[in-house]
């Protein structure tokens, strides 16, 4: 029920078995001392199976430290871990080595994480899979020396919480690694990431720590997954984080009675799940929750602040629960990262800002206009100049931002105008805000309806200057004279070989009575419907004449509305069409 499963098509493809012959180290066995992590660190989980560059996402988001998920065996029974259990992604400098070097050059680091939900459910979590404690320890040491890291995270969930043999092997291996590191002068930490209730660890999670104590394995950080409670209740996720952590504090105080309050809080980590978690909307962690948790975490002096997962820190799928690629709530990209990033001790807070559109959606009839407010705010550092643009407007829609440049903290207006020719539909308009510190975006969902309202007739007055969505036989066009009203009318060009018909298809309610109206001018000017209904009327006049055509739709509700003349009688004109 916990941290999202790894996507594992690779598990079934081209797996290299490492059998029980042992692990071949790809890193150096020398003890170059890795730089310890800060006393307080923000390290969101990075989904390593996506093919994305962790260094690139770290730079884009501002998350200097990452928890890399996940390392696991390729097959049950193996003692060799691979990234995502994919044998093409070994523990080697060729896999993520360049990214990790870049992350370090930018002032950050990584925490490799073993386990995860998929591994715990397929028997490929390393200590569940491998029954040799020495080989488990060797695998840990290989990761440490290959990537020169100072902490390993162990994500233990679901079936791994009840595998008592695996729990014991894992903790014995931790003790072996700690003894090895001490002889090499190397500092290495281990964190356990465990599921939680709203009042602390469940007993199976606590049993993992009891076993560690019995094996003299030092656990530096106990990281709680404060989500996926699955208790059928509504949740204030920020408040529940605090009660859960307080419960863990009380549990750790009994396990480690010699530790001071500051040491106990300093051994606690928190991992949130952004937006809507796997359970659903009742467990939604909001941007406002993030601010509350951040301030609380700083005040308590906890060690690690994290979330699942960096790739979810965007608002690309409102209403979706448990996605691996978006939060399921309306937010700006990197909103959560920007709130949590200053948590890392020793980090320099640079200028940053946010942008939002309110309301973030609207409906407008083709030919009408709409507007929305754009708000910017300083989220870190000081105010800076922000340039605002908008993109994504379809044909017949014009979107602008005024003013085009503001100081962060100031507002602007999104202006939307439409012509009668704008096609009905919903269109995402992207407001892009650019400043020296970087770029943020916000989305406005514009829904365009036809000028005929619920009747679907579009461009009835031809005021767009274009016939669309009317289609005409040769010679048909929008003209500026004669017109019944406004600036344009529709011309149907009747010749000796054609009636010049102009038409558009509309969808109405099935089996319902309507009246089509329109103004016409010319010899034998016809207005009517065909397809799902058949009815027409005509006039023969040098002036404008209103025609009304009653009709009843069939089972589909779809009809074709038309204007045409008669063979050899010359052009006819139509204007101000409507259906009521």
Inter-CA distances, 77 with 19, 74, 471, Å: 7, 9, 68
DSSP letters for 306-352: EEE-GGG-S-SSTT--S-SS--SS---TTHHHHHHGGGSTT-----E
Query: In this structure, which CATH number among 2.115.10.20, 1.10.1740.10, 2.60.120.260, 1.10.1740.110 belongs to the domain 455-579?
Result: 2.60.120.260
Domain ranges of the chain: 49-348, 354-449, 455-579
Q: Which of 105, 2, 38, 109 is nearest to 304 (CA)?
A: 38
Structure confidence by residue, pLDDT tens digits, 488-530: 999 999 999 999 999 999 888 888 899 999 999 999 999 999 9
| Encoded tokens for 455 | 């009747």
Contact between 450 and 577 under an 8 Å Cβ cutoff? The reply is no
CATH class of 49-348: alpha beta
Model pLDDT, residue 450: 66
Model pLDDT, residue 510: 84
In the predicted model, what is the mean pLDDT of residues 271-298? 96
Model pLDDT, residue 26: 34
In the predicted model, what is the mean pLDDT of residues 147-157? 97
Give one word for 486, left, alpha or beta, with left for phi > 0 and alpha for psi -120 to 50: left
pTM: 0.60
Sign of CA dihedral 104, 109, 114, 119: negative
In the predicted model, what is the mean pLDDT of residues 409-430? 86
41-55, 103-117, 285-299, 430-444: segment of lowest average pLDDT = 430-444
When the pLDDT of each residue in the chain is averaged and rounded to a whole number, the result is 89
Model pLDDT, residue 455: 58
The alpha carbon of residue 356 and the mean position of all alpha carbons in its chain are separated, in whole angstroms, by 16
| Encoded tokens for 10 | 């690779």
Model pLDDT, residue 164: 97
| Residues in CB range of 512: below 8 A, 6 or more apart | 552, 553, 557
Model pLDDT, residue 350: 59
Q: Give residue for tokens 């020296």.
A: 436
- Give phi and psi for 13, each to the nearest 5: -115, 125
12-16, 154-158, 234-238, 356-360: segment of lowest average pLDDT = 12-16
Torsion of CA 113, 117, 122, 128, to 10 degrees: 50
Topology alike, domains 49-348 and 354-449: no
Model pLDDT, residue 6: 37
- Is the backbone peptide bond immediately before 359 cis, with ω within 30 degrees of 0? yes
Model pLDDT, residue 29: 38
DSSP letters for 195-246: E-BTTB--HHHHHHHHHHHHTT----EEEEE-----SSS---HHHHHHHHHH
Q: Which of 141, 234, 231 is nearest to 186 (CA)?
A: 141
Q: How confident is the model at residue 380 (pLDDT cuts 50, 70, 90)?
A: low
Model pLDDT, residue 54: 97
Q: Which fold has domain 354-449?
A: Immunoglobulin-like (2.60.40)
Inter-CA distances, 524 with 300, 469, 495, 537, 573, Å: 85, 24, 12, 10, 10
Q: Give residue for tokens 């290299």.
A: 16
Model pLDDT, residue 216: 94
Sign of CA dihedral 176, 179, 183, 188: positive
At residue 185's C-alpha, the angle toward residues 209 and 179, to 5°, is 40
Structure confidence by residue, pLDDT tens digits, 295-338: 999 999 999 999 999 999 999 999 999 999 999 999 999 999 99
Model pLDDT, residue 14: 31
């Amino acid at each position: 029920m916990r941290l999202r499963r790894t996507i594992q098509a690779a598990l079934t493809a081209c797996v290299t078995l490492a059998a029980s012959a042992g692990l071949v180290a790809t890193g150096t066995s020398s003890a170059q001392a890795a730089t310890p992590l800060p006393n307080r660190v923000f390290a969101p989980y990075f989904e390593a199976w996506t093919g994305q560059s962790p260094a690139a996402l770290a730079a884009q988001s501002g998350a200097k430290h990452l928890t890399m998920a996940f390392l696991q065996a390729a097959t049950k029974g193996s003692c060799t871990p691979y990234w995502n259990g994919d044998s093409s992604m070994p523990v080697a400098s060729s896999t993520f080595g360049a990214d990790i070097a870049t992350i370090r050059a930018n002032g950050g680091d990584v925490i490799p994480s073993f386990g995860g939900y998929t591994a715990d459910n397929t028997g490929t979590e390393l200590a569940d899979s491998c029954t040799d404690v020495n080989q488990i320890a060797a695998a840990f040491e290989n990761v440490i020396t290959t990537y020169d890291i100072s902490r390993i995270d162990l994500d233990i969930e679901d079936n791994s919480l009840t595998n008592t043999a695996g729990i014991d092997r894992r903790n014995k291996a931790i003790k072996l690694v700690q003894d090895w590191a001490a002889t090499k002068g190397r500092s290495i930490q281990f964190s356990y990431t465990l599921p939680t209730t709203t009042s602390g660890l469940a007993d199976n999670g606590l049993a993992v720590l009891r076993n560690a104590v019995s094996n003299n394995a030092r656990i530096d950080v106990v990281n709680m997954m404060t989500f996926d409670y699955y208790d059928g209740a509504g949740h204030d996720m920020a408040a529940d984080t605090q009660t859960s952590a307080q419960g863990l504090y009380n549990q750790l105080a009994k396990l480690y009675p010699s530790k001071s309050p500051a040491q106990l809080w300093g051994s606690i980590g928190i991992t949130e799940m952004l937006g809507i978690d796997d359970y659903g909307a009742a467990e939604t962690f909001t941007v406002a929750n993030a601010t509350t948790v951040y301030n609380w975490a700083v005040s308590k002096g906890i060690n690690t602040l994290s979330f699942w997962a960096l790739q979810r820190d965007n608002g690309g799928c409102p209403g979706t629960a448990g996605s691996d690629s978006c939060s399921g709530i309306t937010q700006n990209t990197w909103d959560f990262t920007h709130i949590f990033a200053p948590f890392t001790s020793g980090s320099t807070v640079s200028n940053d800002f946010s942008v939002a559109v309110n309301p973030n959606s609207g409906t407008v009839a083709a030919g009408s206009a709409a507007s929305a407010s754009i708000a910017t705010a300083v989220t870190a550092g000081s105010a800076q100049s922000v340039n605002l643009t908008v993109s994504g407007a379809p044909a017949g829609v014009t979107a602008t931002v005024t003013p085009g440049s503001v100081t962060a903290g100031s507002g602007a207006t999104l202006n939307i105008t439409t012509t009668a020719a704008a096609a009905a539909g919903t269109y995402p308009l992207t407001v892009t805000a650019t400043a020296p510190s970087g770029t943020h975006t916000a989305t406005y969902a514009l829904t365009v309806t036809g000028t005929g309202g619920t009747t679907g007739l579009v461009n009835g007055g031809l005021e767009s200057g274009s016939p669309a969505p009317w289609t005409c036989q040769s010679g048909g066009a929008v003209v500026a004279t004669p017109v019944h009203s406004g600036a344009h009318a529709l011309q149907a060009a009747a010749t000796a070989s054609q009636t010049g018909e102009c038409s558009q298809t509309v969808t109405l309610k099935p089996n319902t009575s309507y009246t089509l109206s329109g103004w016409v001018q010319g010899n034998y000017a016809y207005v009517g419907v065909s397809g799902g209904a058949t009815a027409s009327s005509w006039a023969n006049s040098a002036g404008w004449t209103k025609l009304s055509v009653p009709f009843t739709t069939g089972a589909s509700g779809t009809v074709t509305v038309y204007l045409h003349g008669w063979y050899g009688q010359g052009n006819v004109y139509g204007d101000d069409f409507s259906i009521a």
